[in-house]
Amino acid sequence: MDLRNSQTTNVYKGIQLLNEHNYQLWEAKTKAYLLSEGVFRLAVLGNPVLPQEDNFAAWEAANDRAFGILIRLLSDPLVQICKDLPNAKSVWDRLKQRFQAEAPQLQLLYYDELSSIKMMRGESVSRYLSRAIGLQQSCVNAGRQVTDTEVIHYVLRGITRTDLQQTITCLRCRADLTIAELERHLLFAVHETPRKSKYFEFASILMIIIQVLVTTSTPLTQRYTKQNHKNNQALIIEANEQQTEVTTDLLLAVPGVAEMGIPRTNATKNNVT
């Protein structure tokens, strides 16, 4: 589940209603929608037209249409702020001023909170990531851009649960990790699984290691297999002969993996299946 889309509870024309955390995406989608309706340039970019001017009728029709769309795409608290404004342009400008105006103090406040974020006792992974993403958006709204890489760094640093430390160590090796992938790996690691099965204990860790390996330039050919007879499940890891020792050392470096029986290779041990 991608948390950036999980907050979509109120939608109109495929656009999530504007709230305190989604202005950047809302602005882009709403602008595209108003352009497709042929009212953005006249009613939002252009200045209001007086009744005595020649193109008043065209402006009035475009303004009514744009105003209605904008109000419909706001959450209830923002509707209360904008409903009495005189035209669509004033609504658009008010929202832009509210969410895009640079606020140095807010930038420091939100960024400091994000950089020191900690997972609270009993807090779910989804809720923890939602807080981090919300703080990221608050920073952006205050005028400070925060990359997903920064968010991932602070999120991992803020997790102190002992049962997730092995997973976190492996995730730090993923230079191309996305927030969606981070969420998926963490949810897998904390999922309710039988503790009696070592396969589930280390599956998420090994999956991350495999993903790190497959991003290298060397093709994967050599196979290791550890058969879990009790659950009739096989864990297969492939690695090139040139990476055999590196691969095995990396796996055995993870606490608990050595007990799973994955063999250490050397120059005389090859093609273990």
Per-residue pLDDT reduced to its tens digit, 202-252: 555 666 666 666 555 444 334 334 444 444 344 334 334 434 444 445 555
- The pLDDT tens digits of the residues spanning 158-204 come to 999 888 888 888 888 888 889 989 988 888 888 734 444 445 445 55
The neighbour count for residue 187, using CB atoms within 10 Å, is 15
Q: Using an 8 Å Cβ cutoff, are 78 and 18 in contact? A: yes
- Rounded to the nearest 10°, the torsion over CA 48, 51, 56, 61 is 80
More confident residue, 85 or 214: 85
- In degrees rounded to 5, what are phi and psi of residue 261? 90, 15
Strand partners, 222: 239
Q: Using an 8 Å Cβ cutoff, are 247 and 237 in contact? A: yes
As a whole number, the mean pLDDT across the chain is: 75
Residue 148 and residue 164: Cα distance in Å, rounded? 21
* Percent of the chain whose pLDDT exceeds 90: 33
Global pTM? 0.47
Domain edges within the chain: 3-100, 102-191, 201-273
